[in-house]
Amino acid sequence: MTPLLEMRDISISFGGIKAVDHVTIDLRPGEVVGLLGHNGAGKSTLIKCLSGAYQADQGQILIEGRPVTIQNPRDARAFNIETIYQTLALSDNLDASANLFLGREMLTPLGFMDDARMEAETRRIMGRLNPNFRKFNVPVSALSGGQRQSVAIARAVYFNAKILIMDEPTAALGPHETQMVAELIQELKAQGLGIILIEHDIHNVMKLCDRASVMKNGQLVGTVKVDEVTDEEILAMIILGKKPVRA
Amino acid sequence: MSDATRRSLADTLELDKRLFGMIIAFAVLCLVFQFQTGGTFLSARNIFNISVQTVSVGIMATGMVFVIVSRNIDLSVGSVLATCSALMGMLQTQWLVPVTGLGTGTTLVVSILLGLGVGTAMGAATGWMVGYQRIPSFIVTLGGLLIWRNVAWYTTNGQSVALRDPRLLAFGGTEGVMGPEWSWVLGGLATLAAAAAVIAARRGKMRHGFLVKPVWAEGLLVAMIAGGILGFVALVNSYEIPVGKLKRMFEAQGMDVPEGYVAYHGLPISVLILVAVAVAMTVIARKTRLGRYIYAIGGNPDAAELSGINTRMMTVKIFALMGFLCGLAALVAQARLQSHGNDIGTLDELKVIAAAVIGGTALAGGVGTIYGALLGALVMQSLQSGMAMIGVDTPFQNIVVGGVLIIAVWIDIFYRKRMGERT
Ligand SMILES: Nc1ncnc2c1ncn2[C@@H]1O[C@H](COP(=O)(O)OP(=O)(O)O)[C@@H](O)[C@H]1O
Ligand SMILES: [Mg+2]
**Rounded CA gap, A79 and B243, in Å?**
73
d(Cα B320, Cα B283) in Å, to the nearest integer? 18
Instruction: Give, in order, the Cα–Cα distances in Å from A64 to each of A73, A178, B228, B390.
Output: 19, 31, 62, 77
Which positions in chain A touch B14 (Cβ < 8 Å)?
Answer: none
pLDDT in tens, B358-409: 999 998 899 999 999 999 999 999 999 999 999 999 999 989 988 988 988 8
B210: closest CA of chain A, how far (Å): 9
Residue A45 CB–ligand 1 contact under 6 Å:
yes
User: Are A22 and A48 contacting, i.e. CB atoms less than 8 angstroms apart?
Assistant: no
Cβ of A37 closer than 6 Å to ligand 1, yes or no, is yes
Per-residue pLDDT tens digits for A163-215 = 999 999 988 788 888 888 899 999 999 999 999 999 999 999 999 999 999 99
Nearest Cα residue to B305 out of A76, A167, A171, A140: A76
CB contacts, 8 Å: A53 with chain B: 305-306
Contact of B219 with B250, CB cutoff 8 Å: no
State the pLDDT at residue A223: 95
From the CB of residue B225, how many other CB atoms can be counted at a distance below 10 Å? 17
Quickly list DSSP for B211-250: ----HHHHHHHHHHHHHHHHHHHHHHHT-BPPHHHHHHHH
Q: Is the CB of A200 under 6 A from ligand 1?
A: no
Measured between CA atoms, how close is A188 to chain B, in angstroms? Answer: 22
Long-range interactions of B254-259: CB distance < 8 A, separation 24+? none
CA atoms of B100 and B106, how far apart (whole Å): 6
The complex scores an ipTM of 0.92
Q: Quick: pLDDT tens for A86-141.
A: 888 999 999 999 999 999 999 999 999 999 899 999 999 999 888 889 899 899 99
Q: How far apart are CA B374 and CA B360, in angstroms?
A: 11
CA-nearest of B72, B81, B35, B43 to B344 is B81
By Cβ distance, the residue of B286, B295, B302 closest to A89 is: B302
pLDDT at residue B4 is higher than 50 = no
Find out whether the beta carbon of A87 lies less than 6 Å from any atom of ligand 1.
no
Q: Return the residue of A nearest to B365 by Cα.
A: A93
β-strand partners of A66: A63
Could you tell me the pTM of the whole model?
A: 0.92
- Mean pLDDT on B342-369: 93
A209 SS3 class: coil
* Rounded Cα distance, A123 and B209, in Å: 11
Q: Where do the domains of chain B lie?
A: 44-348+361-367
Q: What is the per-residue pLDDT for B422?
A: 46
By CB neighbour count within 10 A (0-12 exposed, 13-18 middle, 19+ buried), where does A176 fall? exposed
Determine, for residues B308 and A112 on separate chains, whether the beta-carbon distance falls below 8 Å: no
CATH code given to domain A1-82+168-247: 3.40.50.300
Whole-Å CA distances, B375 to A173, B15, B185, B361, B422? 43, 15, 25, 12, 22
* In chain A, domain spans: 1-82+168-247, 87-160
Residues contacting B16, CB < 8 A, separation 6+: B369, B372
pLDDT score for A247: 45
pLDDT tens, residue by residue, B138-187: 999 999 999 999 999 999 999 999 999 999 999 998 889 999 999 999 99
Instruction: Indicate if ligand 1 lies below 6 Å from the C-beta of A213.
Output: no
Q: Which of A9-23, B100-114, B205-219, B307-321 has the lowest mean pLDDT?
A: B205-219
- Residues 6 or more apart whose CB falls under 8 angstroms from that of A48 comprise A54
**By alpha-carbon position, which residue is closest to atom 14 of ligand 1?**
A42
Residues of chain B contacting A139 with CB distance shorter than 8 Å: 299
C-alpha span between A23 and A101 (Å, rounded): 33
B231, B51 contact by CB (below 8 A): no
Q: Does A17 touch chain B (CB under 8 A)?
A: no
